Structure 1
């Protein structure tokens, strides 16, 4: 499933769970940064190593708290995708 389709399902699930609009907006910013970096590829194509490189480059420019937000979003997205059987565990 391509990332933009994943986002639609992820967002809907988090809305049902009661995530605040502010949290979803912040997550959408992080999602767009991910898509801008990798393209609208299948979520299965994102490897742990490619995400480490992505986060390593971000760490050079971001404050620790901002990097933490990016990491938190990615963990949340991939944990959710794994639970939904969109990726292998």
Structure 2
């Protein structure tokens, strides 16, 4: 399953569960950042190591904007 399709299914499920629009908007932003980083690849191809590399990259980008 491709990342974008997985996100759509997850979002639909959370709407049914009654998650707020604000929460879904925040989740969507994070999902789109992941999809942009990995591109729309098959979910099964993302390993734990690749996910950790993504998180390190995101942290480094965020630290540029954080005061010391």
Whether TM exceeds 0.5 here: the answer is yes
**Deviation of the 1:13 alpha carbon:** 0.5
Runs of 4+ in 1 over 4 A off after TM superposition: none
**2:18 matches 1:14:** no
Task: Give unpaired runs (5+ residues) of structure 2.
Answer: 64-68
Q: How many residues align?
A: 63
TM-score (normalised: structure 1): 0.67
TM-score (normalised: structure 2): 0.86
- Taking only aligned residues, the RMSD between alpha carbons, in angstroms, comes to 1.0
Task: Give unpaired runs (5+ residues) of structure 1.
Answer: 64-89
Instruction: Considering Cα pairs closer than 8 Å and 6+ residues apart, tell me whether 1 or 2 has the greater RCO.
Output: 2
